[in-house]
A and B are shown apart, each in its own frame.
Chain A
């Protein structure tokens, strides 16, 4: 079985183990993540570095309490590229990886919620 992309430890600590809240937050992530990712993609496509940085920074907060460290690190790297305005192509490549990872993450959360 493939390794899980979900890490609820932050959320557990944050909520004090409140199961209802954890479920609500997972639902919230499923709803919000696609639009946030879409905003990131748009800003990268338009080569709008400032917006890219802001959107990635914002998405980092969303991912922070639900995703494993590897995905968070991926966003952190992208945020740095956007801030330093180094390479659009690298950013685009990394976005594709992030998008796929997040897609799988959302599916996994959906599955958890349906159980």
Chain B
């Protein structure tokens, strides 16, 4: 082997190892730094109270509740829409142009930056019925629609055509086939779509700042939906950027890291579980 070739190989191999090492080190640093700075600030009081000016303590219970409410509201609305769109695409659609238009639209939606969602959500929802969690949730519905649609569509494709034909052969109508054969087959796609959406909702801040606001009041589900409120991520931003409360910000960041980890793990576990069940 010529020297030139040898040094090319050595160089490329070296660069490859350095870059991979860099990526790994980056993650370890981020993880370590955030947990190191955040965990000492997490206490039961921090998790279970609301911020108080009297004691000058920060509590994130309202933000946790708001996050739960907004996740629930978004999923309740986005699931029927996304699953329905996927069913239309795989079961009904015959016109290729309509399919192409819908898929192009879904792609476009997933490429739009969240700050633009925030603006449009503000114009469409908040300007009409006020800055509140529901306005934020509706904005997030548009954002997550393509995700749910795509995961459902993927799982619908794995339902064998013969099942549908069998059901049609027994005299079932289209709707009956969808209800009894197709829908049970797309559970894994729906679950995966939900997990991915929850991850995206947890991480979202730009789209919520102008639609859901940033109040820290404790509400129940229904009064929460119609009043403004910060999710954990928005609270992190406000504490870090506007109020300089870095301890609280890092504590929230550590919690968000844990949640991200749980979401990633459950997504891969769900995928494995359904893959196993399908192969049996």
A, B bound: no
Residues of chain B touching chain A, judged by Cβ–Cβ distance below 8 Å, are none
Residues of chain A touching chain B, judged by Cβ–Cβ distance below 8 Å, are none
